[in-house]
Amino acid sequence: MAAWTANDIPDQSNRTVVVTGANSGLGAETARALARAGAQVVLACRDVAKGEEVAADIGPNAQVRKLDLADLSSVREFAADLAATHPTIDVLVNNAGVMAVPFRRTADGFEMQIGTNHLGHFALTMLLLGRITDRVVTVSSTMHRIGKIDLDDLNWERRRYERWPAYGQSKLANLLFTYELQRRLTAHGSPVKSLAVHPGYSSTNLQYRSESRYGKLVEWVTPVIGQSAAMGALPSLYAATAADAEPGGFYGPGGLFEMRGHPKKVQSNARSHDQGVAASLWSLSEQLCDVRSPLTST
């Protein structure tokens, strides 16, 4: 994996990849690189107009579909529409996300960060899983380390809301989901891989739209210490395409403190490997999203 770059992506001809949040930042760079390698890329975007701009830049290998992960009716509509045109999908990249936003709720009443970053992607993955042939890649963050899963108050209905712990909870949920999905795929004899990634500290719109009190500081620091979105997308691209990407693997930048650099396999914290919490979160997510996984035992 030494100095792995987008030039190392194997030929993606005759493959279909869905990338959520592909209208900007990491998602746009992921979509561009995959399309250059020959993949047909579905840009799943809340902002369709911006998605169309990216698709126009990419060319005929890209198409845009409306997807608002903060609205489960939109997730279901996206999955149904995609089924009509794409009977199989090779790779799903769960990339979209919000970070450290003020307290607000999704259309379904979920806290916005857990609702968008985890529950929306959980529902989408379950609705598409029967047609995914190769792998699911979910974008987490080093900020999972500050997260704790509160199964009794996942949506911050009783706790005093704190935007960064809420973000950390959502990113920890991404990892618990990734590892639990791999365990269930393996138990069912499925060849599909589930992998997680993080982009390090990347200069993207997400950094400039956190709406936190540190927003101005982040805007100043990001261009100085952050790596480009193209570099930040490399872990996603490696996990989505490399033949030797390990099932259940977690990939991020290989530089100092995993903030920047070429992708390598990295480690997540002990909380992310708690199988009891992962199984309980899976069940709660099914209940909240009103979806049942084909990998859930009867």
Residues identified as active-site: 167
Q: Which amino acid is at 86?
A: H
Cβ neighbourhood burial of 63 (10 Å; 0-12, 13-18, 19+): middle
- For residues 190 and 194, give the distance between their C-alpha atoms in angstroms, rounded to a whole number: 11
Q: Give, to the nearest 10 degrees, the angle between helix 72-85 and helix 121-128.
A: 30
What is the number of residues in the chain?
298
- For residues 154 and 281, give the distance between their C-alpha atoms in angstroms, rounded to a whole number: 9
- Total Cβ atoms within 10 A of residue 199: 31
Cβ neighbourhood burial of 280 (10 Å; 0-12, 13-18, 19+): middle
Ordered DSSP codes for 80-124: HHHHHH-S-EEEEEE-----SPPS-B-TTS-BHHIIIIIIIHHHH
Q: Among 46, 104, 110, which residue's Cα sits nearest to residue 74? A: 46
Q: What 3-state class would DSSP assign to 82?
A: helix
